[in-house]
Amino acid sequence: MPKSLATKWILSKECTLKVSGSTNISKFSCIIPNYPAADTLFIYKTGQSEQVKITGSMVLHVQSFDCHNPMMTKDLRKTLKQKEFPKIRISFINLSKYPDAGGEEEQIKGVVNIELAGIKKRFDINYRVIPNGTVKLTLIGSQTINFSDFNIIPPRKLGGMIKTNDILSAEFVLKVTILNE
C-alpha cells in the first residue's frame, strides 16, 4: 500500500455553524458565530484515488447558538438538550477530491458524522470551496437535516398553535490554513 502523506488543516476561529428552519408562522436562523479553538484536521492523500481521508473534528457548544431573539435562542438550546448534551461534534470522514488552494472556486462532496443530543449520524455534505491565496481555503458545507434524525421533537408553543417544522438547513463555514503542503 502506498504511503499516505498527511497535510494539516488548521481550523480558524472564524469557523461558523448556522441552522435555519421555519415554524407554521415564520422562519428563523440561529448561528454559532465563531469557533472557540484552533483545531487541526489531518488530510491523507494516497494517490490511488481522488478521494481523500480526513481525521479530526470540530466541537461546538450548544450554549453558543444565537437566534437573535432571546426566547428563540432559549427554546433552541432546550430543544437540543443543552444541559444533558452541551456539545455538538462534527467529525470529518472524507472529501471526494483534494481542493486546489491556488485554483478556482469549486464544488466537492464529503462525508461527516454529526453528534447532537447524544445521537451520531452520518451525512453527505456538499461543499463550496473558495481558495484564498495558496495556503488558505474556505469550505462552506451545507446539508438538510431533521430534528428527528437525532430523536429530537421540534418545539411547539402556545399549546401547539406554533409548530416548528422538522427540517433544518445546516451550513458550516470552515476557514482553514494549510500546513505541510
pLDDT value of residue 2: 43
pLDDT tens sequence across 16-26: 999 999 988 88
Distances (CA, A) of 168 to 10, 24, 35, 129, 178: 28, 14, 21, 22, 31
Q: Which long-range contacts (CB under 8 A, 24 or more apart) does 139-142 make?
A: 139/99, 139/173, 139/174, 139/176, 140/171, 140/172, 140/173, 140/174, 141/110, 141/112, 141/171, 141/172, 141/173, 141/174, 142/169, 142/170, 142/171
Question: Domain locations in the chain?
Answer: 5-179
pTM, 2 dp: 0.88
User: What would the pLDDT profile of 85-100 be if each residue is shown by its tens digit?
Assistant: 999 999 999 999 988 7
Residues in Cβ contact with 132 at an 8 Å cutoff, skipping those fewer than 6 apart = 138
Among the CATH numbers 3.30.70.1710, 1.10.760.10, 2.40.128.110, 3.40.50.300, which is that of 5-179? 2.40.128.110
> Rounded to an integer, what is the distance from CA 33 to the centroid of its chain?
12
* CA 89/CA 65 separation, integer angstroms: 14
Residues whose CB is less than 8 angstroms from the CB of residue 4 and which lie 6 or more positions away in sequence, other chains included: 44, 45, 46, 53
- Among 49, 81, 44, smallest CA distance to 62 is for 81
User: pLDDT of 134-157, one tens digit each?
Assistant: 889 999 999 999 999 999 988 777
